Structure formats: C-alpha cells, structure tokens
Amino acid sequence: MPFEYLPPLLRASKSKIVLIVMDGLGGLPVEPGGPTELEAAHIPNMDRLAAEGMIGLSTPIRPGITPGSGPAHLALFGYDPLQYEIGRGVLEATGVGLHVGRGDVAARGNFCTLDSAGNISDRRAGRISTAEAIPLVEKLKDVKVPGVEIEVRHVKEYRFAVVMRGEGLDPDIDDTDPQATGVPPLPAQARTPAARRTAELFNQWIASARRALDRHPKANGLTLRGFATDPNLPSFQDSYGLRPACVSVYPMYKGVASLVGMQVIDFPGETPEDEFSAVSRVWQDFDFFFIHIKKTDSKGEDGDFRGKAAIIEQVDAALPRLLDLNPEVLIITGDHSTPTLLRTHSWHPVPFLLWAPKTVRPDDQTVFGERACAHGGLGNFPALDTIPLALAHAGRLDKFGA
Amino acid sequence: MPFEYLPPLLRASKSKIVLIVMDGLGGLPVEPGGPTELEAAHIPNMDRLAAEGMIGLSTPIRPGITPGSGPAHLALFGYDPLQYEIGRGVLEATGVGLHVGRGDVAARGNFCTLDSAGNISDRRAGRISTAEAIPLVEKLKDVKVPGVEIEVRHVKEYRFAVVMRGEGLDPDIDDTDPQATGVPPLPAQARTPAARRTAELFNQWIASARRALDRHPKANGLTLRGFATDPNLPSFQDSYGLRPACVSVYPMYKGVASLVGMQVIDFPGETPEDEFSAVSRVWQDFDFFFIHIKKTDSKGEDGDFRGKAAIIEQVDAALPRLLDLNPEVLIITGDHSTPTLLRTHSWHPVPFLLWAPKTVRPDDQTVFGERACAHGGLGNFPALDTIPLALAHAGRLDKFGA
C-alpha cells in the first residue's frame, strides 16, 4: 500500500492538492452508441482541464468489484479496502460526529414497531420522520448502563447510532435485527467468549431503552446492527505529510474522512459552489482538500440521466472559483460508478482527470468522458495510486534510492 | 516477482535477447503541445521497430515514485525494488569494481577538510580533483586494521569506496558524516549490539587513515556513509536461464549488473556504436545483453533538450549494427524518465519498445514516442514484467499448468 513506502520519501512543500470526488461519477449510455451522463454534460472547464492534463480510468477495489461508499473512499485515500475494513457501526457513528476510539464499540440502530406479543411488525417503525425520531433519541440518551458510557445520536428518519465506551469491550457480536417481521428482535449475541460481557451490556441497554420507548405507537422497539470498533487506520497526515481537510455535505463521507484523520470543515449551504467557497476560506490552513459531491450518485440511483449530467454541469460551472486558488494539483474523479441505467453502484472503472500544469505529460485527449478516459495517458489503474500520483505532481516526493 | 514463478517454466533455447536502456529516456514537452525529447528526435530505425513491434509505457517502481538508478535497473531486471534494497555503500563499491561478498561491509567515503580544532570546514574537501584524490586513496590503501581485510578504491573527485572483509561483520552502523560543518566527524556508531565490533574496526581504520592524510591541506579528513552488505540478490542466470552480459560505460550500472550476476564486458570507446560493437564481439558467449546508454540522462539533468534528442539519434543511427546480429528479441526503453524540463529524474512512465519479429502482436503504432506509447499495445505496465515478456518472445518459456 502506498503509505508503506511513501513516508521515507516525503518532502516538505507548500503545494496544494485538491481532490474532487463526484460520487458515482462513472456511467453508461442509456441507448446503444449514446453518451454516458458525463459525456452528455456540457462541461467546458473540465474539458479544458482534460486537454491540459491527463485522463484515465481508475478501479476502486479490484476489477469487477462494485464498491460501497466507505471502501471506495478508503481506496482513493490509499488504504486498500481488502486490508482495511470499516465496520458499518463505525461508519454510521462517525458519520454523525460520534467519536469511536480504540476499544469503543459502535452500532447502527433502527427504531422498529413491536406488536403486543413483542414481535416486529415493522422493521423501520413506519419510516418515522426525523422530527418524530429526534425526541425518541433524546429519551435513549438518558438510558444508562452501569460500568460503561453510552452515547447515542440520531442519523436520519428511523436510524440512529450508538457508541459504548469502557474497559475490555469487544465488537464481535451478531446483529439483533432478525431481518424479518413476525419474530422478536434477537438478543445481542457474542460470537466469541471475549465479547460476552459486551453483548450482555448491550442487552441491558436494549432492555432499558425499550422501557423508555414503550409508549410510542410506532417506534416502541429497536434493533442494532454492524457492531464494530475503531479500524485504527494509519493517519493520512503522517502517511503523506499533508494537512488534510474534508468538505462534504453528507455525514457518511465526513465520517470516513475523519477516520483517516482529516479535519472536517463546517460550512453553510450545500451546492458545489458552497463547497468550493468553503475550501477557499480554509485554503491557507491545509495542503489537501477532499471535496465530496453527493448528488451525482443520488441522481444515478434515481435513474435520472439528465439530472446526473446537470449536477456534473453545476460542478463544472463552479470550478473557476477553485482554479482561482491556483492548486498545484487538481484531481476530478468519482469514488465508483453509478450508471443511471443500472440505478445502483457498479464495478465499472471511474473517469479520472489529473491536472498539474507544471509536470503533467499530455496525452492528446481533449474532453472528459468515459470513452476519452479509456484512451487517456493514465491508462487503467488502481484507485490506490491516486495519492502517490498527486504527491509526485505536487513536488512532495523525493527519489527512491540512489 | 517474476523469478518466483518463472524457473519451473524455463525452456532451453539459443535465442538472444537485447535490452537497450537509455538512461532517463522519458521526457516532457518544454512547451504546451510540443514534442518530448524522444518525439523530437529523428529516429527512423526505432520508428520502424515500433511499427513492426509493440510499444507501451512502463512504471519502474510504483506510480508516482521517482526512482534512483539502482532501484530502476533492479526493476527492469525483475527484482522488486521495494523488496530488494541495495545499500548505498554497496552500489558505490561495486560500481568501481570492488567485490562485496556475503558478510562484507561496504561504505561510501568522502574526503573532507578539518580545521585545527578537528571540526569539518568543508564536507567535500574543496571538491578536490580526481588527479589530486588518487594519491590520497593510494595512501588509504596502506592503512591496515588487524583481523580484517580492507579494500579502498577511488570513485570520482572527493569520493571513494571502502570494503571491509572478515568474520562476523555487521553493516548496521550510522553515517559518520554529520551533514554539517563546524563540528567533528561522528564516530562510526553501531545501531545494534551485533554491529559494535564492526563499528569499532571502522573507527580504528578511520583513526589510522586520518594520520595518513594528516598533512594534506584540503583532504585531511574523511567521512563514511551508507554502510551496507551484499544484498544477496537471486542470480539472474539461475532465475531466467540466460547467460547475461552487461555493456556499460559507467561504473554504477556495471555495479548493479554484477550484483545480479551479469558478466561485465570490457570494451574500448564509449559511444553507442562502441557499445554495440562490444556486443557483437561477445555475441556467441551470452544469451542476454544489457546495454546501458548514460548520456540521455546526463543531458536531461543538464536541461539540454536538443542534446538529449541527439543522443537518442546516435543510438538510432547505430542500431543497424545491432540488428545485423539478428536478435530474437530487442527491447528499447529507459530505466526512468529524466525530462529536460525538470532537470532531474521523475516518476513519469517510461517509453518501451518490444521488437520480436516472429511473435509480436502489432498495435497500429508507427512511431516511438511518449504519446504513441500511451496508446501502444503493451499499455501501462510495471517494469518488473520486462524479463518475462522478453523470455516469452524469445521462446524460452513453457506453458504454465496443463
């Protein structure tokens, strides 16, 4: 993995690197011979950057593997997802700003509806609204278990996250969601003897939590899934010598970024322009800027071809603001493909644009799109190469050996 | 690594493989849209070979990593530089023909100037000339330490190499160069208990050497760096079933070649023509010919765009002499890029030409240059693949499995 051989080569520099990740960027034509979403978008700025820079296609995990968002981002940051796994509970918890330290155990929670016999009648509590859920989460915050500290935070609608902190905890516990209705929630069950006490503590918490929720007509029960602890990822800053900032609207991406030690920037608004403005405000304080654009993926999952292209066009229109900052290296890519044709994440390689005016070797490509990327000078390459390439073009790496 | 899976597949053959390495071959345009050095060079022979053969881009170590010459050559020879490290002292010593056997300890030496207080006033002894340094190295050759054999050889100007041979030696010793003036040289200090005796022996040698140099006005002291032992590389001949020869003008490349067991060929002259003539003289005695062309790199480091192109043209003009020998496989590439624009080694992938008239699959490319290579049939690939590809096209590999 890059950070295993890079640290001895790192060179001090004031150069700045910007990584724009348009979630689910890669697409497919919806009719034979037609354009992809990216190819259909009117993106004069990105086309110019493609002409001046280099393009290619990156593979997030391995060929043929469709990535989830967590692993896809880990790969872009240089952490091989086959080696580093972030548990779901940790992803959910850090995504809403809960700290998951070494030895803590995090889980994802769902409110559910229990019938009078204690069986689950709705696994998502009728998808209660955020407004309805927040007071329930407040009740859960008052539930105590002797010997451990428990923190709960609302995520969205019927979802929440919970973190348990204390001595000797172990996350090796089965989900309590039976993935079925007409049966009761399962108890938290340890998979190994070492996790028995932790499972017991969670069962105590679940019992008290149910009493606290008892009178709610829909959300009178709960299930927990994805028990996990801090993945203990190597620090992005130590590995690459970069002070990294994350600019993202959505919590989950802030969560992944904070797990590798990026500083999450708060900012008003949620458009690409708002995100780029946030970058410009903290420009002096960081060397690396991870900017996450969510809606390309959402439109892809909606099957909204034109909507996805429009989001890409919004990013393109806002780019001059970012270019005015004069980054040494600008990368525009995605974490994975989400073709509107498929309405879901896919394994297709991801368009990748590397712009570095001083050091890039031009490749005769003049537009940014999947077909052009397949002929680009960067070729087909693993997403794990992203940061080493960025560091090289930013003048931040010394020679390897004599 | 290739030699881990190749040996069982090796097949006897009389075929010949030639590997021409133009040091620092890869380049960059000096103006937007302009040609690289290789693209600017008039190379009708290489263009014809590119048309008949296949081209691509090779990555010496890992994407984004700028290689030193030693690791870059190891990679071309099939030894992953992340796994096999040649210590600096060994590279310097073998480069000037000193043998570094298993258990020997080699170091790089610098003459330096010491003031009357014993502090370093010039870390390079005023960069004394080779002519001035040679008699000083002769003095060092007379310095003995009981219990070990010590060999010293001049490298260039103020630099020399030293090898200590004996029982129980260990190279885990810190540099004696403090990398500063106004302070005395450091003693050789062991990093581990096992290296204490070796450090002490070097300190004895240093003390006697200083007395031998005492009266020189500039080079009255010395420092040692890069203590290292034989990297114990697997044998090229055993791994690939090839009798390998090295034809190189510069010592360092002879050094790397001899570390993998190539036979270094002595020859008169130093032009590409002289090197190709040397190959023709020993053609019957070897199966593999590594030919190193240094000046492409030197011109690159000088920032001499036209000069670098001219060296490539010299190689091209001399090629017919080599082609007359009818090699089964001819590879023309570099060890890394040294763009004149950057005046230094760089991480950019390296143009690669594979010509094998009987077995190559043509790729519609008709010239040898970076842009053409980016579209070549070999694609982007690790330099570690070079020897397996050569062996295959030379008819020297059996089928893997049934």
Out of A9, A375, A389, closest to residue B63 by CB: A389
For the stretch A235-252, pLDDT in tens is 999 999 999 999 999 888
Token pair 């014993």 in the structure block, residue: B118
Residue B29 touches chain A, beta carbons under 8 Å: yes
| B348 inside 8 A of chain A by CB | yes
Beta carbons of A362 and B33 less than 8 Å apart? yes
Residue A261: per-residue pLDDT: 93
Confidence (pLDDT) at B214? 84
The tokens for B107 are: 């170091």
Mean pLDDT of B227-250: 95
With CA atoms as reference, the chain A residue closest to B90 would be A402
Q: Say what angle helices A251-259 and A69-76 make with each other, to 10 degrees.
A: 40
Nearest CA in chain B to A400: B67
Structure tokens at B7: 């040996």
Average pLDDT, chain A: 95
Please report residues of A whose CB lies closer than 8 A to that of B91: 402
Q: Do B62 and A398 touch (CB under 8 A)?
A: no
Mean pLDDT of the region B264-284: 97
Alpha helices in A119-259 (DSSP H): 130-141, 196-213, 236-240, 251-259
**Over chain A (402 residues), what is each successive 10-residue block's mean pLDDT?**
86 97 98 97 98 97 95 96 92 89 95 95 94 95 96 94 96 96 97 97 97 91 96 94 96 90 95 98 98 96 97 98 98 98 97 96 95 96 97 97 82
Q: How many Å is the Cα radius of gyration of chain A?
A: 23
Nearest Cα residue in chain A from B372: A363
Average pLDDT taken over every residue of chain B: 95
Helix (H, G, I), strand (E, B) or coil at A157: coil
Residues of A in contact with B344 (CB under 8 A): 399
Q: What is A174-191 written as a DSSP string?
A: E-S--SSSSSPPPPPEES
Could you tell me if A306 and A38 are in contact, meaning their C-beta atoms sit under 8 angstroms apart?
Answer: no
Closest CA to B171 of B251, B91, B106: B106
SS (H, E, C) A48-73: HHHHHCEEEEEECCCCCCCCCHHHHH
The amino acid present at A261, given as its one-letter code, is: G
Q: Return d(Cα A220, Cα B100) in angstroms, integer.
A: 77
CB of B317 within 8 Å of a chain A CB? The answer is: no
Per-residue pLDDT at B25: 98
* Residue closest to B134 by CA, chosen among B99, B164, B163, B158: B158
pLDDT bin (cut points 50, 70, 90) of residue B284 is very high
Q: Which residues in chain A are contacts of B29 at CB distance < 8 A?
A: 361-362
- pTM, whole model, 2 decimals? 0.89
Q: Which of residues 62-91 of B touch A (CB under 8 A)?
A: 62-71, 81-82, 85-86, 88, 91
Residue A149: the pLDDT is 97
In this predicted model, what pLDDT tens digit does every residue of A144-164 receive, in sequence order? 999 999 999 999 899 999 999
Q: Is residue B242 predicted with pLDDT exceeding 90?
A: yes
The answer to whether A385 contacts B64, with C-beta atoms less than 8 Å apart, is yes
Residue B54 pLDDT: 97
pLDDT number for residue A330:
98
Q: Say how many C-beta atoms besides its own lie within 10 A of residue B134's C-beta.
A: 11
Chain A with chain B: Cβ pairs closer than 8 A: 86
Band (pLDDT 50/70/90 cuts) for residue B156 is confident
User: Strands (DSSP E) along A244-372, which ranges?
Assistant: 244-248, 263-264, 288-293, 329-333, 350-355
Amino acid occupying residue B113: T
What's the CA gap between B351 and B343, in Å, rounded?
A: 18
What mean pLDDT comes out for the span B75-100? 91
What residues of B are in contact with residue A385 (Cβ under 8 Å)?
62-64
**pLDDT tens-place string over residues B101-127:** 889 999 999 999 999 999 999 999 999
Question: The complex's ipTM?
Answer: 0.88
Report whether pLDDT(B95) > 90: no
Task: Give the helix/strand (H/E) hosting A36.
Answer: none
Name which of A377, A378, A399 is nearest B66 (Cβ-Cβ).
Answer: A399
User: Does the distance separating the beta carbons of A381 and B380 come in below 8 Å?
Assistant: yes
User: What is the number of other CB atoms lying within 10 angstroms of the CB of residue A96?
Assistant: 18
Helices (H), B266-382: 272-281, 295-302, 305-323, 370-374
Inter-residue contact B387 to B78 (CB < 8 Å): yes
CB contacts of A397 in chain B (<8 Å) are 64-66, 347
- Going from the C-alpha of B60 to that of each of A10, A145, B345, B352, the distances in angstroms are 18, 57, 12, 11
- Examine the pLDDT at B202 and tell me if it is beyond 80: yes
Contact of A8 with chain B, judged by CB distance below 8 Å, is answered with no
For B361-379, what is each residue's pLDDT tens digit? 999 999 999 999 999 999 9
Q: What pLDDT score was predicted for residue B171? A: 96
Return the pLDDT at A219: 94
- Whether residue A390 and residue B67 make contact (CB cut-off 8 A), yes or no, is no
Of A376, A389, A399, the CB nearest to B345: A399
**Residue among A2, A363, A398 whose CB faces B371 most closely:** A363
pLDDT band at B402 (very low <50, low <70, confident <90, very high): confident
pLDDT in tens, A361-374: 989 999 999 999 99
Shortest alpha-carbon distance between residue B339 and chain A (Å): 10
Per-residue pLDDT, B47: 98
DSSP B73-128: HHHHTT--TTT----HHHHHHHHTT----TT-EEEEEEEEEE-TTS-EEETTGGG-
